[in-house]
Structure 1
């Protein structure tokens, strides 16, 4: 036990966190300026003064430590009057304690250097959302010690719900896995679930922030709502501009009843081909032309399926003789299905067709999807546009490869949604 006595003023929101080492995992998420990194650094110093341990601090890129985690720890050591006892070394970056404890710094951009470290009992992953999920799992394997209790601290600003941090620590809709509703964390601020300690904080929890900084965060509400949600509120969500803001999910029975009420429903089937990393995606659609509503009521979604296996699984289409409009970039595959008795033809593709097809889908006043179409919901509910290096939207590229959207494109081949009057249904943020 160290005999060093140190004093440091801290934010009340973090007082309990500083000395809580009960759980193996500690996940800290919050807005800008909440002081979470500061208090994690302080927590590490206090722990390593008390017990002889080796702690590893990880960021995605090694060189970013110098001006962030290392600089923060060095500043804390000086502020606490411990620079004569705790040595901050720069080549390589390392912090050594009088009792033999040490902190080492690594980057996931140099994974080979992780293999040489041993007896790590504490790992802090700073900006963990930037680290790949495979890297996180690799680090769990590096956390080992013959006698000491093991701990992993993860800190991040919230990002999009598609990020692995949200799926692992909160919910993964595709795999129907729910650990914790993030809204519950925002409300309660601290929650323990199993062997994980959750902590949420915002700039309001940092009593040392100047009012001008908080005012800057508040201004984001007017010019960048997405950044305001992340920076000021510290909430996960959808980052970027949604491709289909009019997309919503209804119960299957309600969707089928609505289709039944359409005076002259236009029914279509579209198919996108895939195998290894992409998917065979088929959707059944119904269009209410008068009301400009698109209904999605059935899907097929699988990969790593050979054509003969897929043909067997979708054999019902041979009986119904429904026309399947498919990706014309795969004429050989289309020919195979035709020979097997399917009513299939290629949808038109041309230079600029991705943009034209996306515009067509966006013209619907509403897009209503059955809750049974889980993959369609997963891909389209939060689908956002990709941006270029200048932070400008690329209107025919998306943050994921949405196979169900491609299937919808093909299904609607040669159908035109009449243009809505300017601004009637499309907000300025989503205008073309």
Structure 2
């Protein structure tokens, strides 16, 4: 299929991967696509939104994420990529302040908003034409279904004959406890189109890219289930169940009488180094997780600098006791690093202590910790029954939390030996 617009001709078969034809064509109100990393769901959505501006010259688009500061390096970047991929650069003007993409010939716009923009998200207006397409990228980040409903209700009004309105949701399915699953996937209605895509849909992956997934499938099957096959994270068997996600006021929590701070670091290289910042309210039995830093393939010197850059260079950092060399290197860099408690029962004892507390995770600051705690479960035996050993996958920030809380919840004199 070709689309003509004076000098422009877009060859769709060259742009759309196998497996996305129905996704591209559907006109249902809700077009919902969960998928693996590298499945090209976001790139395909970006191509489709630019294509629709040409096919429907009175239409406009809106791109949404939970936080406005994440828009530039995700959907805005993907749409600029799509414009270039389609060879229509000269037809568009892309600006950052305000962040918008304008089709020069018609004045059509793609606008960008974060749900943290408050009233701005529910009072969207366009200068010309009608708002038809709303793309919610990383919809998994929206933990409150009411926030989605408010946005959904704001996309109203008549459209020209032959036009339609559509809300597109794309995301990685990190947790089966997300409202997205029952709302769209468990009992989809006639207004809902759903799809699951994987990296195998993406013809642009090279051999090195594909090998990443093949190795993950072999070495980290639980992570591969989500990041490779695009299936839901677990909903049962979680180690920590008393968990909330909210953007709490960090200064207000810091002012709680008796509040104690704690910082933990789990070392990695192929696995991520996970640095986690906590505040513990023993009176209310609450642990607040307020900041994080996750990186793979970095040296201890880089870790030390990152801790300093985040403003925690003067804090006591409790680290994995199995890495004395790394602890010593951090100390040489001026970090107050020290080993965590050790002993044959230290892991389970630490978990049991934390299970007595409610864990409140700062969503904006701690996205990786959120993914992990929603998938941190007991390892299963060959019969699929849970054991008393935590599964290694999704354990890095969890180990950091255990290191950090150990000396606060128990005290310096306690030993598991």
TM-score if structure 2 supplies the norm length?
0.54
Distance across 2 between alignment mates of 1:2 and 1:228: 43
8 Å CA contact 1:49, 1:101 repeated in 2 = no
Distance 1:358 1:34, change over 3 A: closer
Once the two structures are superposed, residues 153-177 of structure 1 have per-residue CA deviations (whole angstroms, 9 ceiling, x without a partner) of: 1111112111111121123xxxxxx
Once the two structures are superposed, residues 49-71 of structure 1 have per-residue CA deviations (whole angstroms, 9 ceiling, x without a partner) of: 12111211001111211111111
Q: For 1:6, which of 4, 10, 18 is the aligned residue?
A: 10
Q: For 1:83, which of 81, 89, 95 is the aligned residue?
A: 89
Structure 1 position 145 matched with structure 2 position 157: yes
Distance 1:70 1:390, change over 3 A: closer
Distance 1:215 1:125, change over 3 A: same
Distance across 1 between alignment mates of 2:212 and 2:170: 23
Distance across 1 between alignment mates of 2:81 and 2:203: 19
Map of 2:59 onto structure 1 = 53
Map of 1:102 onto structure 2 = 109
8 Å CA contact 2:35, 2:229 repeated in 1 = yes
SS of the residue corresponding to residue 113 of structure 2 reads strand
Distance across 1 between alignment mates of 2:352 and 2:391: 11
8 Å CA contact 1:28, 1:156 repeated in 2 = yes
SS of the residue corresponding to residue 222 of structure 2 reads helix
8 Å CA contact 2:65, 2:113 repeated in 1 = yes
Distance 1:161 1:5, change over 3 A: same
Listed as ranges, the matches of 1:214-253 within 5 Å are 214-238=210-234, 242-243=238-239
Q: For 2:132, which of 110, 121, 124 is the aligned residue?
A: 121
1:42 CA drift (Å)? 0.7
8 Å CA contact 2:62, 2:134 repeated in 1 = yes
Distance 1:390 1:117, change over 3 A: closer
Q: For 1:72, which of 68, 72, 78 is the aligned residue?
A: 78
Indicate the RMSD between aligned Cα atoms, in angstroms: 3.7
1:240 CA drift (Å)? 9.3
Q: For 2:178, which of 160, 163, 167 is the aligned residue?
A: 163
8 Å CA contact 2:33, 2:171 repeated in 1 = yes
1:391 CA drift (Å)? 7.5
Structure 1 position 30 matched with structure 2 position 35: yes
Distance across 1 between alignment mates of 2:236 and 2:197: 23
Q: Report which of the two structures shows the higher radius of gyration computed on alpha carbons.
A: 1
Map of 2:414 onto structure 1 = none
Distance 1:226 1:386, change over 3 A: farther
1:79 CA drift (Å)? 2.6
Structure 1: which 5+ runs fail to align? 172-178, 181-192, 245-328, 330-354, 363-383, 401-423
8 Å CA contact 2:59, 2:132 repeated in 1 = yes
TM-score if structure 1 supplies the norm length?
0.52
Distance 1:399 1:64, change over 3 A: closer
Listed as ranges, the matches of 1:227-306 within 5 Å are 227-238=223-234, 242-243=238-239
Distance across 2 between alignment mates of 1:357 and 1:38: 43
8 Å CA contact 1:226, 1:240 repeated in 2 = no
1:21 CA drift (Å)? 3.8
Distance across 2 between alignment mates of 1:120 and 1:7: 26
1:133 CA drift (Å)? 1.3
Distance 1:220 1:385, change over 3 A: farther
8 Å CA contact 1:386, 1:399 repeated in 2 = no
